[in-house]
Amino acid sequence: MSNGREPQVIDTFLALTDTLTRDFDALDMLTTLSESCVELLDVSAAGVILADGQGGLSVAAASSERTRLLSVFAVAIDAGPCVDCVRTGLPVISEDLRTPTARQRWPRYVSGADEAGFRATHALPMRLRDDVIGVLTLLHTDHHALTDADTRLGQALADAATIGLLHERAVRHAETVQEQLQGALNSRVIIEQAKGVLAGSTALAPEDAFTVLRSHARGQGIRLTDLARGVVDGTIDLTSVVRPAL
Amino acid sequence: MRERLQQVCVVTVHVVGVDGAGVTVMGSVEAGLDGHRDQLAATGGLARRLEDLQLTAGEGPCLDAFREGRPVLIPDLAGESGRWLGFGPEAVGAGAAAVFSLPLQVGAIRLGTFDLHRRTAGPLTDEQLADALAMATLATEALLELAEQDGPPDPGGGREVAAGWLPDVHADVHAASGMVSAQTGSDVRSALLHIRAHAFGSGEPIHEVARRIIDRDLTFPLPDDNGPGHGPTAPDEEGEP
């Protein structure tokens, strides 16, 4: 796993920081980050949680849209390792959530993760100087220790994604990273609405609708957020999006 | 509802520490930005003047915030003179030193902007921005309901809905709004209000209503089939789609 992954690692770093292309989309990039973690690191699932600017956290992207994974993140934004990671700015590693220590520290998170079948959680901070703008969350279905190499690579991927966000900010003349984060979080809402529109118009489940949207955006060279907005506004013909997928 | 928007502006001036605030509703970009646009609330002359300038110049922070769907925070307007050649110098001349425009939106539902200004330059602190975002959510909620008053009544049984529901609306509710929108042929804004009205009317938590919609255990009838007065139906009554 460690030696054969270099070419893929390089491609991933390029993808996370490729902000000069016209179709750069923060939400798409954070989804790529989550997926890459599952491919490159020995973890079962991953996701990105962002600070919402009001002292809370919000789910931005995940390695899959499966309900059980999203349900873990729904708890993670309220309590658990991710919240601790944002507060301290330090990685929070829990190899086994079933230990009494973990249960005592995060009772609600542990039972949520357990219900969804996850046993280990590693939260890596996305830092900008003194601020923590988000958390890269790595989940494992088993008792799991993150190797030193994987911890470093995970943190480097989180940093690269943060740099990507910052660089896009410079390109688009945004003054603060909060402008970026707010935009990314609203993109997430648009994507949820678009998942619903596709699911309501077809027999697709919302979680599969996301895959359809993303591959269509890729195939057509459209920004994921623009495609999702077009689907919700009715300015994009749904049959052109759905038919190739069926 | 306009009074509520005015209150939001007045409270914002005190809480956030700005010199003025205004709420502007806008038509969609597709329909043309100058097609439909109205400042519904403003705390004073400068807030109104800044809106007039952006209307005349066809550019400015509120238009950018609306179009890009994210805040536009300009702590030093004089130092950003190149960004809006028409609006910038005029706004500085009128007395605005810093402008902060927050989009009023729920995903793809774009309603307008919340525009704050200061007569002295300087950024919003993290706490001030947090307060401004919270006030923007209140303004968004008021605008959603304002639009509702103009539209067809929704099946909430005329029950008064308590303010402050929007911050609790998360991912599942947005996905469910999309599904209801597709199933009823209404826009996603009406769909969101339908779901909210159903939740308040039945006393069921809005997330549980959303979950049932996503699981296709709860569908809303087409308005043309049953009229707006009818509630949603379970699939065993009308069959799976």
Residues of chain A contacting B178 with CB distance shorter than 8 Å? 192-200, 232
* Architecture category of domain B2-141 in CATH: 2-Layer Sandwich (3.30)
Distance CA(B13)–CA(A216), nearest Å, equals 45
Question: Of A118, A142, A174, which residue is a domain's last?
Answer: A174
Do A26 and A97 belong to one domain? yes
A193 touches chain B (CB under 8 A): yes
| Tokens 């400015």 found at | B60
Show which of A145, A174, A203 is a domain's final residue. Answer: A174
Q: Which domain holds residue A195?
A: 188-245
Q: Return the CATH class of domain B166-238.
A: mainly alpha
What is the share, in percent, of chain B residues with pLDDT greater than 90? 68
**A-chain residues within 8 Å CB-CB of B214?**
196, 199, 206
Chain-centroid distance of CA A212 in Å reads 17
- What's the pLDDT at B228? 44
Please say if the pLDDT value at position A36 is more than 60: yes
- What local confidence, expressed as pLDDT, does residue B135 receive? 96
Evaluate whether residue A165 is within a structural domain.
Answer: yes
User: CB B73 to CB A179 under 8 A?
Assistant: yes
Q: Assess whether pLDDT exceeds 70 at residue B153.
A: no
Kindly determine whether residue A197 and residue B188, on different chains, have CB atoms separated by under 8 Å.
Answer: yes
Per residue in B98-117, pLDDT (tens digit) is 999 999 999 999 999 999 99
Strand spans (E) along A71-130: 92-94, 120-128
Mean pLDDT of B12-40: 79
Please, which pLDDT band fits residue B152 given cuts at 50, 70 and 90? Answer: very low
pLDDT tens figures, B206-224: 999 999 999 999 988 755 5
Q: How confident is the model at residue B230 (pLDDT cuts 50, 70, 90)?
A: very low
Q: How confident is the model at residue A129 (pLDDT cuts 50, 70, 90)?
A: confident
A142 and A204 fall within a common domain: no
Does this complex have an ipTM over 0.95?
Answer: no
pLDDT at A3: 59
pLDDT at B89 exceeding the cut of 70:
yes
- Final residue belonging to a domain, choices A174, A204, A221: A174
- Grade residue B65 by pLDDT with cuts at 50, 70 and 90: very high
Chain A interface includes B105 (CB < 8 A): yes
Pair (A167, A194) in one structural domain:
no
A159 CA to chain B: closest CA distance, Å?
22
How many angstroms separate the CA atoms of B145 and B200, rounded?
Answer: 14
**Where do the structural domains in chain B lie, given as residue ranges?**
2-141, 166-238
Q: Mind telling me how many Å the CA of B127 is from chain A's nearest CA?
A: 8
**Amino acid B94: pLDDT:** 97
Task: Mark which residues 34-73 of B lie under 8 Å from A by CB.
Answer: 68-73
Which residues on A lie below 8 Å from B183 (Cβ)?
200
Our count of domains for chain A comes to: 2
Query: Predicted confidence band at A49 (pLDDT cuts at 50, 70, 90)?
Result: very high
Look at residues B96, B135, B89, B88 and name the one whose alpha carbon lies nearest to residue B118: B96
Q: With CB atoms and an 8 Å threshold, state whether B107 touches A232.
A: yes
Q: End-to-end CA distance of chain B, in Å? A: 38
Q: pLDDT digits over A215-227, tens only?
A: 999 899 899 999 9
CATH at A107: 3.30.450.40
- A and B: number of Cβ contacts within 8 A: 116
| A170 and A207 together in one domain | no
Residue A13 is predicted with a pLDDT of 87
